[in-house]
Amino acid sequence: MGASPALQSVLDGTRNGGTVVNVLIWGYKAEIDMFGLVLGELNLIGTAAYCGEHAQVIELLRQGKIPAELFITGRIAVDDIVSGGFTELIVNKDENVKILVHPRGSSPGADDVRTPGSPRGRADPGVRGRSGDCQALTS
């Protein structure tokens, strides 16, 4: 949730009395509808770390209940980690969520790499990978 509209969408979609946990360090002040927050009796919690939730998230991913491909906004070679990874996450933080870094060599092949900032959830058909092949950079 790197942008106020995303946070507001999550709040709007939360059931009355529900809880939203924001795991993000914002680079600016968020703008949300406080009237809706109060009227819906929502709980908004901020945290800077995950605690004991990995097993649950992995199970939801395994079941296909969380569409992981929507969060992968780029795939890069390890040699491009500064310009295509860290710089991309800083300069275009509202467009990026996860950029996967291929750890082997400088050139995993054109079919294995997607340029950061390309539309979410639209991985190239040639993208191949095995579990453990990539490390994620997070904005």
The domain ranges of the chain are 4-49, 68-138
CA 100 vs. chain centroid, Å, equals 11
Please compute the mean of the pLDDT values over residues 120-124 and round it to a whole number: 38
Residue 132 has pLDDT above 90, yes or no: no
The rounded distance, in Å, linking the Cα atoms of 99 and 111 is 16
φ and ψ of 21, to 5 deg: -110, 120
Residue 118 has pLDDT above 70, yes or no: no
Cα dihedral 137, 107, 132, 63 sign? positive
Strand order in the sheet with 72-77: 72-77, 98-102, 135-138
Six-digit token string for 46? 């901020």
Q: Identify the bridge partners of residue 78 per DSSP, sorted by sequence position.
A: none
Q: pLDDT at residue 59 above 90?
A: yes
- Residue range 41-49: average pLDDT? 88
Confidence (pTM): 0.43
CB 105 within 8 A of CB 81: no
Assess whether pLDDT exceeds 90 at residue 12: yes
